[in-house]
A = this chain, B = another copy of it.
Amino acid sequence: MMEKLNLLELPGHLIRRLQQQSTSVFQERMKAEGFDLTSVQFAVLNTLGKGEGLDQASVAKRIAYDRATIGGVIKRLEQKGLVTRTPDDEDRRAFKLNLTEQGKDQLAALQTVVLALQKDILSELSETEAAMLLELMMKAVKSRG
Chain A: interface residue total (CB-CB under 8 A): 52
Q: Is A93 an interface residue (CB 8 A)?
A: no
Q: Is the CB of A4 within 8 A of B107?
A: yes
Instruction: Determine how many copies of this chain the complex contains.
Output: 2
Given A20-B64, A124-B140, also A134-B14 (CB < 8 A): yes
A114 surroundings in chain B (CB, below 8 A): 5, 10
Q: Is the CB of B137 within 8 A of A14?
A: yes
Interface of A is mostly: helix
15 pairs, CB–CB < 8 Å, chain A vs chain B = A5-B111, A7-B46, A8-B63, A11-B133, A12-B22, A12-B118, A14-B141, A15-B15, A15-B22, A15-B121, A17-B64, A18-B19, A124-B139, A124-B141, A133-B133
